């Protein structure tokens, strides 16, 4: 009706549950950036291949300087292409890095990207988080995380085993075969996985849930799941999003990995707005700035300074 001023109501946004690791708390006001260090020669993006320990440690120092709160190290490429790496070789790749990182940065949160319980056991006393990208393929891994006092990342891979790329993926349930079936599967699987972790002895504030875009999903599945980040946050555990330079970004914009930064940052901003607390990223500085800006727009983080328009002292 003309002349009627619409009502303005308080903004309702998902309030991401806090992650607590190594005495540090990450939430909507202090989102965490998780830097990626791949101790591999064959990672999908050439910008994050660190076959030598010194190269990996240089990347670590840069990541910390650019604002990383967590550093996630892995020794095996996630996809099916590339080298075959057994557990012994994986340990040889990640353990010296973790030992050096812990000496250099005693307060830094360290994460281990592995699906193998024996690799996590080898890192006892060094890591604060076990990033199980392959959704409990090794059922002993979550119990190992609990025993070594680490948190755990619960992921969704559509039931695929480690290092398997998705082919002819479909999701259907009692509600029918529609775009929301993937979201319902993600939420159900993550809820079960989180409960398994808590039952194994991992405190709830150390259980991260990761919808794991690209893994077991088409590009359309990943886009739909990202739009429904708030449903993942509603599970009551801190949400991790690993969006950096992924194929769903590349296919959406028809870009190769080297050119996916802007698309990644757009996805990062949406995920932050909808309740994600932790962001796994190759580009630490850019991600830090995006998530801090979104946190301030949400009203959860004060500006670093706010002098524009304020009275000038004489």
Q: What is the pLDDT of residue 205?
A: 96
Q: For 206-230, b where at least 16 C-beta lie within 10 A, e where not — what string?
A: bbbbbbbbbbbbbbebbbbbbebbb
Give the CATH number of domain 26-79+86-298.
3.20.20.20
Nearest to 189 by CA among 226, 134, 243: 134
CA 296 to chain centre: 21
Q: What is the pLDDT of residue 46?
A: 59
Nearest to 61 by CA among 303, 310, 284: 284
The residues spanned by each domain of the chain are 26-79+86-298
Q: Structure tokens of 305? A: 């300074």
Residue 27 · residue 14 · CB < 8 Å:
no
Residue 173 phi, psi dihedral angles, 5° rounding: -150, -165
d(CA 270, CA 70) in angstroms, rounded, equals 21
* Widest pairwise Cα distance in the chain: 73
Q: Is 70 helix (H, G, I), strand (E, B) or coil?
A: strand
Alpha helix (H) ranges present in the chain? 53-65, 87-104, 117-122, 140-147, 180-200, 219-227, 229-233, 247-253, 261-273, 284-298
Q: Structure tokens of 259? A: 């050119």
Q: What is the pLDDT of residue 77?
A: 84
> 220 Cβ partners below 8 Å, 6+ apart?
179
Q: What is the pLDDT of residue 243?
A: 98
Q: What is the pLDDT of residue 44?
A: 64
> 94 Cβ partners below 8 Å, 6+ apart?
39, 73, 74, 75, 112, 114, 119, 123
Residue 276 phi, psi dihedral angles, 5° rounding: -80, 140
Q: What is the pLDDT of residue 45?
A: 59
Residue 160 · residue 139 · CB < 8 Å:
no
Model-wide pTM > 0.85: yes
d(CA 303, CA 296) in angstroms, rounded, equals 6
Ordered per-residue pLDDT tens for the chain, 314 residues: 567 888 898 888 888 889 999 999 999 999 999 999 999 876 665 566 677 999 999 999 999 999 999 999 999 988 767 778 999 999 999 999 999 999 999 999 999 999 999 999 999 999 999 999 999 899 999 999 999 999 999 999 998 889 888 888 889 876 666 789 999 999 999 999 999 999 999 999 999 999 999 999 999 999 999 999 999 999 999 999 999 999 999 999 999 999 999 999 999 999 999 999 999 999 999 999 999 999 999 999 999 999 999 888 76
- Name the packing angle between helices 219-227 and 261-273 (round to 10°): 40
Q: What is the pLDDT of residue 1?
A: 56
């Amino acid at each position: 009706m003309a002349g009627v001023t619409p009502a303005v109501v308080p903004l309702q946004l998902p309030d991401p549950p806090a992650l607590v690791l190594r005495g540090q708390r990450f939430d909507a006001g202090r989102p965490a950036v998780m830097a990626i260090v791949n101790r591999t020669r064959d990672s999908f993006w050439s910008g994050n291949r660190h076959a030598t320990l010194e190269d990996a440690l240089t990347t670590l120092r840069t990541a910390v300087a650019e604002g990383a709160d967590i550093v996630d190290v892995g020794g095996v490429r996630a996809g099916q292409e590339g080298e075959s790496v057994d557990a012994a070789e994986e340990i040889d790749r990640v353990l010296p890095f973790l030992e050096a990182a812990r000496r250099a940065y005693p307060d830094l949160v360290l994460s281990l990207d592995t699906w193998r319980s024996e690799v996590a056991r080898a890192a006892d006393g060094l890591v604060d988080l076990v990033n199980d990208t392959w959704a409990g393929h090794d059922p002993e891994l979550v119990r190992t995380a609990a025993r070594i006092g680490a948190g755990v990342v619960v992921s969704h891979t559509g039931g695929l085993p480690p290092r398997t790329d998705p082919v002819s993926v479909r999701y259907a349930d009692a509600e029918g075969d529609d775009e929301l079936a993937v979201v319902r599967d993600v939420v159900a699987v993550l809820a079960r996985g989180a409960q398994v972790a808590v039952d194994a002895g991992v405190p709830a504030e150390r259980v991260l849930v990761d919808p794991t875009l690209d893994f077991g999903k088409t590009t359309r599945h990943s886009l739909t799941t990202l739009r429904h980040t708030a449903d993942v946050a509603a599970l009551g555990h801190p949400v991790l999003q690993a969006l950096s330079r992924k194929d769903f970004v590349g296919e959406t914009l028809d870009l190769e990995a080297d050119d996916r930064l802007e698309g990644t940052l757009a996805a990062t901003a949406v995920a932050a707005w909808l309740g994600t607390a932790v962001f796994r990223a190759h580009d630490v500085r850019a991600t830090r700035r995006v998530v801090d800006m979104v946190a301030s727009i949400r009203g959860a983080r004060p500006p670093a300074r706010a002098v524009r328009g304020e009275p000038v002292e004489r």
